[in-house]
Amino acid sequence: MSFKTDEYGLIGFPLTHSFSQRYFNEKFKSEKIDAVYLNFQLSDIGELMEMLSEHPRLQGFNVTLPYKEHIIPYLDEIDPKAKEIGAVNVVKIQHLPGGDIRLKGFNSDYIGFRDSIVPLLKEGPHSALVLGTGGASKAVKVALKSIGVNISMVSRNMKPGVDYTYEMLTEEVMKSHDIIVNTTPVGMYPHSEECPPIPYEYITPDHILYDLIYNPDVTTFMKLGADQGATTKNGLEMLLLQAFESWNIWKSK
């Protein structure tokens, strides 16, 4: 790596594996781009500014769990769509004269999710149960609304913005929502045997089960849905599409 090499990266905790690091470094190599993509495992978001000062060649970075919302107070500017969502997964760094920097936040998750679920949808109307209330769920919610899908939010506990707890998911509720999206980390490697506690016996061939998790390829959530005849999809294509959009953001003027 030369001293002129641009840097990009990912912040989160923990970073046990990183699709983004592998994807971008392979892209840089194949396209002969003088850049490197690094993982920054921050145990606290308060470590961000020190990390930035130690990497003056950093041009932008992705944000993953648990910092998609925590990053917002550190930004100088936020894109309107990311502001609407209330979560940021892409930060572009503007280098100013004198060594100062400005941070602008974006959200490419909603683009990745929207463009990957649309091919699965037959003619509507559609209603979705969105499992989880974290930063990823906010992007999913905005994406589904943008394509005319009615949304109900599901969480372990009732709180503002939540429509159902898992215990409230009756046969009637399940059959009136043909899309179920898991935005939680439940079922992610190495805890692959776990799954969100929904009543899978009420899943039908008319359902779509979409899991934002991509490791393992087939989660327990997806397998239990497929056993009932449902269409299933993991989050790999969403991840690819949001990575494309991240690069477009970083390279835009």
Task: List residues with catalytic annotation.
Answer: 68
7 CB contacts (<8 Å, ≥6 apart)? 35, 36, 37, 38, 55, 57, 58, 59
Which tokens in the block code for residue 197? 């506690």
Which tokens in the block code for residue 85? 């969502």
Q: How many CA atoms lie within 13 A of 47 on its CB side?
A: 10
Q: Are 12 and 67 in contact (CB under 8 A)?
A: yes
- Neighbouring C-beta atoms of residue 44, cutoff 10 Å: 9
Return the HEC string of 66-117.
Answer: CCCCCCHHHCCEECHHHHHHCCCCEEEEEECHHHCEEEEEECCHHHHHHHHH
The phi and psi torsions of 8 (rounded to 5 degrees) equal: -135, 170
Q: Which residue has the tokens 């899309």?
A: 179
